[in-house]
Structure 1
Amino acid sequence: MSSTKNIDVFFSAQSFQENELRDKSVVVIDVLRATSTIVTAMMNGAKGVIPVEDMGEASRISQSVDSDNYMLCGEKDGAKIDGYDLGNSPLEYTRETVSGKTLIFNTTNGTKAIKKSLGSATIYIASFLNLSTIVKALSVEKNEIVLLCAGWKGRLALEDMLLAGNIIYNLCDAQLSDEANDGAKVAFGLYEKYSDDIKSVVFQSNHAQRLKDVVGTDDIDYCCQTDITDQLPILHDGIIST
């Protein structure tokens, strides 16, 4: 990538039409918590992650596979779904639990964003946890790039935009082109403003406040870590793997 003018940012899964992604490389971002959880699952040896849009799709897939090798995972409005093996806390996705397993994964925002991206050329899964690996992959990407923030039920999520801005900041060596798209300028500006204290800003975000009431703060602490893994999860034929 020679210029950030080929990068755009969408602030939620409802802020675009699917045809806007055609032939582009999409980076799905859901810091709290879906993409952080997917990256963690892959880091701890999961065979793959099948993102689904809703509980109905998850149920259909789970009924057609060998339950010894598959796990049903996810949340609704932050809380683990009754009957699921795991929720959406990355801390649950330990090596002992997920190694060698394929995870059927259903979340309120993140997996919907992934499913809406299926018409694109490539789908990467990004978090602060694998930031540098994502930046390295995008630095040689030939397609136009869309950073797709999952948001929260159609609304902007500050933590997702901060990660998008961080990615752009690193890609352009802190010098954003005047020709950059508006979305890239907004994300870049947010990151520039708050880069000295990302964790505190994320903790103050609307979605973090909602999560604290449901699951406490340990997940938020974990998801704010940077570069703890070099995993590069990509969607292939409906399954996320590395």
Structure 2
Amino acid sequence: MTESNKPSLEVCLSPALLHLYDVKNSIVVIIDVLRATSTICTALYNGAARVIPVATVEECVNIGRAIDGITAGERDGKVAEGLVHGNSPFEYPREFIEGKTLVLTTTNGTKLLHMAKDAIQIVTGSFPNISAVCDYLVSQGQNVILGCAAWKDRVNLEDTLFAGAVVSRIKSHFEVNCDSALAAETMYEAAQGDVFTFMKQASHYKRLAKYGLEKDIQYCLTPDGANVLPLFKNGELVAEEVSVK
């Protein structure tokens, strides 16, 4: 807690900076908007039993085979070699994913999740579940670190925008003494009239648009399409329903 008796709210803009933050005394929100954390909440919202995030394709294949799970993931925006399914939220409708386990490996998001393993609690956040995330963080009354997965340790727009959107929504409940949080909120306020158009200047937008994934990008930037809270427990993400206020 801070001197104001409010918990702190901070933004870590890259996994390369996470060691500078007090992870052990915080809830950490893993943010990988395009597309890991958007896909995770969508799969869970559509009835997936759990999502197991792993670091490597080999681990993904081995675990998937052992538990008869769905193996999925991407490297640099494309389906990873050796896997059948990718990282698009549209690949996981209810009729396909309900009751099943998704084993997922991604370029950036799963790496950050495992780096934050000593946190009080880890949840994943993106625009499709922003209300669930915000309601949970306010209800817990704990210090919060909004951790951006970034792109190969380089700061990116989409994760920063989401972090700024969360700061904008919940800052009255927290002590915000963090320049990264203020910068993220300022960026979000500049973009919030049309986040999709704002994102067109981003490197990751251009990277995914080359593969015809504008529909994915639009979905991943739209609030509350899959409003569940993915909680990290015992090496897997499970859905905890949070009522939207």
Q: TM-score, normalized by length of structure 1?
A: 0.91
Distance 1:3 1:149, change over 3 A: farther
Q: Name 2:111's counterpart in structure 1.
A: 112
Pairwise CA distance, 1:119: 1.1
Runs of 4+ in structure 1 displaced over 3 angstroms?
1-5
CA contact (8 A) 1:4 1:168 kept: no
| Paired letter, 2:13 | F
Percent identity (aligned): 36
CA contact (8 A) 2:9 2:174 kept: no
Q: Name 2:64's counterpart in structure 1.
A: 62
CA contact (8 A) 1:76 1:107 kept: yes
Answering whether residue 231 of structure 2 is matched by residue 234 of structure 1, we say: yes
Pairwise CA distance, 1:108: 0.3
Q: Name 2:178's counterpart in structure 1.
A: 181
Answering whether residue 193 of structure 2 is matched by residue 196 of structure 1, we say: yes
| Paired letter, 1:184 | A
Which segment drifts farther, 75-84 or 32-41?
75-84
Answering whether residue 40 of structure 2 is matched by residue 43 of structure 1, we say: no
CA RMSD of aligned residues (A): 2.1
Pairwise CA distance, 1:5: 6.6
- How many Å separate the matches in 2 of 1:136 and 1:47? 23
Q: Name 1:81's counterpart in structure 2.
A: 80
Pairwise CA distance, 1:63: 3.8
Pairwise CA distance, 1:132: 1.1
- How many Å separate the matches in 2 of 1:143 and 1:10? 16
Q: Name 1:21's counterpart in structure 2.
A: 23
Pairwise CA distance, 1:83: 3.2
CA contact (8 A) 2:158 2:199 kept: yes
- How many Å separate the matches in 2 of 1:25 and 1:134? 11
- How many Å separate the matches in 2 of 1:176 and 1:146? 11
Distance 1:229 1:89, change over 3 A: closer
- How many Å separate the matches in 2 of 1:135 and 1:226? 12
CA contact (8 A) 1:176 1:185 kept: no
| Paired letter, 2:161 | L
Q: Deviations over 1:72-121 (max 9, x none)?
A: 01111111123323100111111121111111100001111111111111
Structure 2: gaps of 5 or more residues: 240-245
Which segment drifts farther, 210-219 or 127-136?
210-219
Q: Name 1:218's counterpart in structure 2.
A: 215
Pairwise CA distance, 1:172: 2.3
Which segment drifts farther, 13-22 or 190-199?
13-22
Q: Deviations over 1:131-165 (max 9, x none)?
A: 11111111122321000010000101101111101
| Paired letter, 1:38 | I
- How many Å separate the matches in 2 of 1:157 and 1:181? 18
Q: Deviations over 1:14-71 (max 9, x none)?
A: 2222873113100111110000000110111100000011123223323432x2xx11
Answering whether residue 204 of structure 2 is matched by residue 207 of structure 1, we say: yes
Q: TM-score, normalized by length of structure 2?
A: 0.90
CA contact (8 A) 1:3 1:172 kept: no
| Paired letter, 2:201 | Q
Structure 1: gaps of 5 or more residues: none
